[in-house]
Chains A and B, each alone.
Chain A
């Protein structure tokens, strides 16, 4: 971002792009008003694999869609202002649009494969957006971390979804939920559920994967507000909520969700106290909220669905504006460090107003939608009779939320103005209208519940089908609520006032970080590169004879494996044919040639000796009814020796140094020879199959009009193979030509 440097970049602001989510939002609203949920659509895609583009929009999907398109509209307006000085803003908008479509696909997909594809697409677009400022090493590291963790979870999710699909016999989410109770006794469930939860936990930054989300704050602020608070990180919550009706009765599900959710909520709240960067404080509190959501899904009460839905909605409506506020402050002052931010309310009154209203909702104070959500949460918990520990934890988490709200809404805006660093002034309308609009929307929902209640209730019934008719916004149990709100408010105020002291106390414990999951991630990543380097050194050492040794060793191992697993008979016989004398001569030539090539030191001698092997083979072919082979071999061997002799001087003097690994080489050679002998002896015992040869012999003259059967096979029956052979020869010539040119010029080095 171009903090401070206000060089105008010309070109489009892309404000009109906000019309895309707005249109989708209006379409959704119109659809909701006219048609009953759920809506379905299906297009066959890969029928052989049971993959179809199946989409299903029910209450939960509709609520997510409303968030994605509704908040998305304001995010696009905000981004056009925030990125006014960013020359690459076109790219960012393109990825944002892609992300939005992926997100819409993910929350509407019914088919498991389609869900997974869109799920991963959101991870990829998130990676691109987190690493948008790719000149910064920290942004690159954060992007890689977000990608590795969410994609690793995605892999687990794929495994879990495949298992669930097999168990339910249905490749749709709705089918799995319908089959839910029947799956409880399936032996594959203990594998499927942890895998699915791993996917959801990584995506929604649950402990111990919570650390990627604060680091993802290196993304531009519109991205943080949209992906990393309002939508993408809710995808894991969405999936868990969607599967909750099927598995809510399972103790494992309940324990995992409540346990992980509570730990995440508490730990992230503690970590929020350790941050000084406003955006990172907000990110920590987002993780805390995600933990609360996970905990709420795990609650077995019918009111839990309502609590999840209400809190999900409220959180998006206050956290996105708070991120925008942090972005505005960053834009205006050039810093997000709360130590340097004070008394901004005079300079930025409208941003301050948005911050205060969002803060009210975050603190769960009356007049805000957050209040409604808190109410729903209290009801859900009182119904579920949760552990006392969980209750205390939520009070603590809520109190920290109050304190964070205080920091973001009061601390930076009130008090005496910090000595002005440059001229701090209010940001452009495109940056203060969106947060104000979103928080005002939240307050409006509080006063006119009829606007949001039907949608929220429909969504809640997706999670808790047994939920009766409730009037969400009037369901206050005032006594419970006021005492709970009052207590959190008081404790929260305490945290807010002692924020700096707590921060310093926690800072003294920073040595504990070495044992945290973030440190584990780092050391795993380092181990990966170290192992890769070690293995590269081991295998790719640049010694050709080493590579050859490994190749022969592998060949021998494979041969030995096959030998040991074959029912093999070894047949040895002196089978003297009528031309035994010619075969003896050929054999002697071959063995003498091979032996001499081995023993001779002089390169020309080695070359000549190897020629003997070829000539010996030619003699053998000649006296085995294969004159064509014999002549070809004679010709080839002669030309080869000529070619070799012509480039021989370029090889310089023979290497006089001792061969390394001599004994290993010897053992390998002996093993190869023995293996060949066994192979040949085994061949002796097998019957000869002459079916093909007889067929060729029969058809050669009538069909191919050729007397020479070998020629006919090559140029007619197997003509395509021969074409391939010609191509190989031509390519080797083409490859050799430039090398020859290089040799002729002489190597300079």
Chain B
């Protein structure tokens, strides 16, 4: 793997974290998507791909050629892409539903917290 890719993935992770730390609910979810993609790349690159040949057993042979790409990270990442997709779809819908009450402000989500009138927990002060 080249230094260029290492730099590229690191920059993407940094951007993803910054997006995920946003107060805007939509940017937060997009940040998760970017981080997901970057993580997939890290896993994929961990096997140091170099071959262009897909991991297919060629007709007439009984086993995978040693020149073919490593199939293991591909299987891992394929699973990760699908699961990440499902979770992001859910996050987008959930975000849209929550945004109805909070105008998309991630700092105004109170649904899971104790009620502001709870005696033990005084209302949260705005920063």
Binding site for B on A (CB under 8 A): 529, 532-533, 536-537, 540-546, 548-549, 552, 572-580, 583-584, 587, 590-591, 593-595, 597-598, 603, 606-607, 610, 613-614, 617, 620-621, 623-629, 632-633, 636, 639-640, 643-644, 647-648, 650-655, 657, 659-661, 665-666, 668-670, 672-674, 676-677, 679-681, 683-684, 688, 690, 692-694, 696-698, 700-702, 706-710, 713-714, 718, 721-722, 725, 728-729, 732-733, 735-736, 739-740, 742-743, 746-747, 749
Residues of B within 8 A of A739 (CB): 93-94, 96-97
- Whole-angstrom distance from the CB of A172 to the nearest CB of chain B? 46
Tell me, in angstroms, the Cα distance from A354 to B27 when the chains sit together. Answer: 81
- Whole-angstrom distance from the CB of A563 to the nearest CB of chain B? 15
Q: CB < 8 Å: which of A549, A577, A651 contacts B104?
A: A651
Q: Are A701 and B109 in contact (CB under 8 A)?
A: no
Q: CB < 8 Å: which of B5, B41, B56, B70 contacts A693?
A: B70
Q: Is the interface of B mostly helix, strand, loop or mixed?
A: helix
Size class of the B contact interface (CB-based, 8 Å) = 35 or more
Q: Are B82 and A729 in contact (CB under 8 A)?
A: yes
Tell me, in angstroms, the Cα distance from A587 to B6 when the chains sit together. Answer: 10
Q: Are A690 and B21 in contact (CB under 8 A)?
A: no
Q: Are B10 and A710 in contact (CB under 8 A)?
A: no
Residues of A within 8 A of B42 (CB): 676, 679-680
- Whole-angstrom distance from the CB of A393 to the nearest CB of chain B? 45
Interface residues of B in 47-91 (CB under 8 A from A): 47-59, 61-64, 68-72, 74-75, 77-79, 81-83, 85-90
Name the CB-closest residue of B to A543: B107
Q: Are B86 and A733 in contact (CB under 8 A)?
A: yes
Tell me, in angstroms, the Cα distance from A168 to B34 when the chains sit together. Answer: 60
- Whole-angstrom distance from the CB of B91 to the nearest CB of chain A? 9
Given contacts A583-B2, A651-B99, A721-B79, 15 further A-B pairs with CB under 8 A are A542-B109, A587-B5, A610-B34, A617-B40, A620-B5, A624-B51, A624-B69, A651-B104, A652-B104, A654-B26, A669-B21, A672-B17, A680-B9, A697-B55, A728-B87
Q: A672-B13, A722-B79 are in contact. Are A651 and B95 (CB under 8 A)?
A: yes
- Whole-angstrom distance from the CB of B21 to the nearest CB of chain A? 4
Q: A624-B52, A673-B11 are in contact. Are A636 and B81 (CB under 8 A)?
A: yes
Residues of A within 8 A of B56 (CB): 707-709
Interface residues of B in 25-53 (CB under 8 A from A): 25-30, 33-34, 37-38, 40-42, 44-53
Tell me, in angstroms, the Cα distance from A308 to B55 when the chains sit together. Answer: 84
Residues of A within 8 A of B22 (CB): 545, 659
- Whole-angstrom distance from the CB of A705 to the nearest CB of chain B? 10
Residues of B within 8 A of A683 (CB): 45-46, 48
- Whole-angstrom distance from the CB of B88 to the nearest CB of chain A? 6
Q: CB < 8 Å: which of B34, B46, B55, B93 contacts A613?
A: B34
Q: Are B21 and A549 in contact (CB under 8 A)?
A: yes
User: 25 A-B Cβ contacts within 8 A?
Assistant: A536-B121, A537-B121, A542-B112, A544-B106, A548-B20, A552-B17, A573-B3, A576-B2, A577-B2, A598-B15, A606-B30, A610-B33, A614-B37, A620-B5, A628-B74, A653-B104, A659-B23, A660-B107, A674-B10, A680-B45, A688-B70, A696-B64, A725-B83, A735-B94, A739-B96
Residues of A within 8 A of B45 (CB): 680, 683
Q: Are A648 and B113 in contact (CB under 8 A)?
A: no
Q: Are A590 and B88 in contact (CB under 8 A)?
A: no
Q: A542-B109, A545-B21, A657-B23 are in contact. Are A740 and B93 (CB under 8 A)?
A: yes
